[in-house]
């Protein structure tokens, strides 16, 4: 199958008809109006599609305007990467067809495409969380990021958005952050920038950070990725390119070592300074991005 795709003279029409390439806002709209049902059923699965469609219809009538703002940060490899389109994006991560075509090497920061950017999140993992927050009255949105980049730089991008969405002229003074896995490290990097800031109101822009499964003491997942033993990397390799995922991790993700625990069991990117307890909530047991963990509740 991969060989047939490689020699096809005009593969783009097939690519454009993929649920993996629909942008996030379009997916939510299509769930409400029933468009692209075949693509979304193939993407989510029939049962999950019906569940999400019902939630999207209910969330459409929920009163979120003026409600507390929530930004959802996905975990490592939880943001889609590729190039932006009008309706259909050219999504490389994560699209099994592109994996089979050998396009994963385009994600490399060393010799890959310079046009790659974060396009959205993996909706099969995170859309239910967003819809649940909207049903609870929160004005929720995703904050995707290019997980190949340095965590400190990603923290700067996050703080720029927080400043754009809060303060004078923004209609709100503060917001909430819900961060899964590596997203919590990105949020912590942003917190460090806020506490270092000379602006008086910066530290009050985030009402609370809720972390779901964030490896605050470090993680050995980078070792698994680099060695090719991480479950997701093994699934990518099973498509037919067993060496490509490992090479892409080694050459393409320059700062993959940062979540590794050091001798003091602290994530390498941070100084030894805790977050303010009033702004921090962590949930470890049973925490998943698609549902609330034990003892979570509202942000």
Q: Are residues 83 and 150 in the same domain?
A: no
Q: Residue 242 domain-assigned?
A: no
Q: How far is CA 30 from CA 4, 34, 292, in A?
A: 31, 5, 25
Are residues 150 and 199 located together in one domain of the fold? yes
Instruction: Check residues 189 and 260 and name the one with the higher pLDDT.
Output: 189
Residue with tokens 């009538």: 61
Question: Is residue 298 in a domain?
Answer: no
Same domain, 53 and 196: no
- Does residue 156 belong to any structural domain of this protein? yes
6 pLDDT above the threshold of 70: no
Q: What is the DSSP string of 245-261?
A: HHHHHHHH-TTTTTTSB
Q: Does residue 100 sit in the same domain as residue 153?
A: no
Tell me the two tokens of residue 46.
Answer: 């029939």
Select the more confidently predicted residue: 71 or 289.
71
Do 35 and 155 lie in one domain? The reply is: no
Which residues face 209 on adjacent strands? 177, 280
Mean pLDDT value of segment 230-241: 69
- 277 with 209, same domain: the answer is yes
For residue 282, what pLDDT is reported? 52
What tens digit of pLDDT does each residue of 16-40 get?
567 888 889 899 999 999 999 999 9
Peptide bond into 94 cis (omega under 30): yes
The confidence score (pLDDT) of residue 297 equals 36
Collect all residues with Cβ–Cβ distance below 8 Å to 75 and sequence separation of at least 6.
180, 181, 182, 183, 213, 289
Q: Is residue 252 part of a domain?
A: no
84 & 176 share domain:
no
Per-residue pLDDT at 10 exceeds 50:
no
More confident residue, 180 or 234: 180
Convert the pLDDT of each residue in 122-155 to its tens digit. 999 999 999 999 999 999 999 999 998 989 999 9
Inside any domain, residue 243: no
Q: Which residue has the higher pLDDT, 196 or 156?
A: 156
Q: What is the pLDDT of residue 269?
A: 47
On whether both 154 and 275 belong to a single domain, the answer is yes
Whether 109 and 137 share a structural domain? no
Look up the domain containing 85 and give its range: 1-61+79-121
Q: Is the pLDDT of residue 42 over 50?
A: yes
- Mean pLDDT value of segment 256-283: 52
CATH number at residue 213: 3.40.50.1820
pLDDT (average), residues 94-120: 84
pLDDT of residue 258: 63
Number of separate domains in the chain: 2
Q: What is the pTM of this model?
A: 0.78
Does 6 lie in the same domain as 110? yes
Task: List, as own/partner pairs, every contact residues 9-18 make where C-beta atoms lie below 8 angstroms and the sequence separation is at least 24, other chains included.
Answer: 11/101, 14/97, 15/88, 15/90, 15/97, 15/98, 16/88, 18/88, 18/91, 18/95, 18/97
Residues 46 and 94 in one domain: yes
152 and 267, same domain (yes or no)? yes
Q: Is residue 61 scored above 80 in pLDDT?
A: yes
């Amino acid at each position: 199958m991969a060989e047939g795709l490689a020699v096809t003279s005009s593969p783009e029409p097939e690519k454009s008809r993929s649920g993996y390439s629909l942008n996030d806002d379009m997916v939510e709209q299509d769930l409400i109006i029933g468009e692209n049902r075949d693509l979304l059923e193939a993407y989510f699965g029939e049962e999950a599609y019906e569940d999400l469609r019902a939630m999207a219809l209910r969330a459409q009538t929920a009163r979120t305007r003026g409600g507390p703002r929530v930004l959802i940060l996905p975990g490592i490899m939880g943001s889609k990467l590729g190039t932006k389109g009008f309706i259909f994006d050219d999504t490389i991560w994560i699209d099994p067809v592109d994996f089979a075509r050998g396009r994963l090497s385009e994600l490399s920061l060393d010799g890959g495409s310079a046009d790659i950017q974060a396009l959205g999140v993996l909706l099969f993992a995170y859309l239910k969380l967003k819809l649940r927050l909207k049903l609870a009255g929160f004005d929720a949105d995703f904050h995707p990021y290019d997980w190949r980049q340095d965590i400190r730089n990603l923290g700067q991008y996050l703080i720029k958005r927080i400043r754009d969405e809060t303060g004078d002229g923004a209609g709100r003074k503060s917001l909430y952050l819900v961060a899964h896995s590596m997203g919590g490290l990105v949020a912590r990097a942003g917190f460090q920038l806020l506490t270092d800031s000379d602006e008086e109101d910066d530290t009050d822009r985030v009402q609370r950070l809720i972390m779901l499964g964030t490896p605050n003491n470090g993680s050995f997942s980078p070792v698994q990725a680099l060695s090719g033993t991480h479950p997701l990397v093994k699934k990518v390799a099973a498509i037919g390119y067993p060496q490509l995922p490992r090479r892409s991790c080694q050459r393409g993700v320059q700062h993959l070592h940062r979540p590794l625990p050091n001798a003091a069991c602290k994530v390498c990117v941070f100084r030894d300074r805790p977050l303010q307890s009033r702004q921090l909530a962590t949930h470890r047991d049973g925490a998943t991005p698609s549902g609330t963990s034990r003892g979570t509740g509202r942000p």
